[in-house]
Structure 1
Amino acid sequence: MTTSTNLMRQRRFLPLFLTQLLNALNDNLYKNAMVLFIVYQVYDSPEMETLISGIATALFVLPFVLFSATSGQLADMRDKTRIIRWIKFAEIIIMSVGATGLLLAARGVSVDSLAIPLMFTALFAMGVHSTFFGPIKYAILPQHLHKDEVLAGTGLVEAGTYVAILVGMMLGGAMPIMWSIVAVIVIALVGYATCRWVPPAPAQTDETQVDWNPVRASKSLVAFSMGNPELRYSVLAISYFWTIAAILSVQFIPLAKNVLLADKQVAAVMLVAFSAGIAIGSVSINALLKGDISARYSAASVLALGAFLVTFYLLCRIWNLTPAGELFTVGEFLVQPLALALLANLVLIAVAGGMFVVPLYAFLTTKVDKSEASRSVAANNLISSIFMVIGAGVAGGLGFLGIPLQEQLLASLFLCLLSAQLARKLHALEVPAGEAFR
Structure 2
Amino acid sequence: MSRTLTEWLEWQEQLHFSSIDLGLDRVQAVAEQMQLDTLDMPVVSVAGTNGKGSSVAMLDSIYRQAGYSTGCYTSPHLIKYNERICINGAQATDEEICEAFTAIDKARGEISLTYFEFGTLAGAYLFRKHNVDVTIFEVGLGGRLDAVNLWDADISIITTIDIDHVAWLGNDREKIGVEKAGIMREGKTVVCGDTNPTESMGSEAIRIGAKLLQQGKDFSWRKSKDGQTWKYVDTHRNAYRFPLPKLRGDFQLNNAASVITAILDLNPVLPVSNLQIKNGLLDAQVTGRLQKLGENPELLADVAHNPQSAQALASYLKNNPVKGQTVAIFSALVDKDLEGIISPLKEYFDVWHLITLEGPRVQGSQILSDKLQAVGISAPIECHKDTVNVIKTLQKTMNSEDRVVAFGSFLVVSAFIQGLNASE
Q: TM-score if structure 2 supplies the norm length?
A: 0.25
Q: TM-score if structure 1 supplies the norm length?
A: 0.24
Decide which structure has greater strand share: 2
Decide which structure has greater helix share: 1
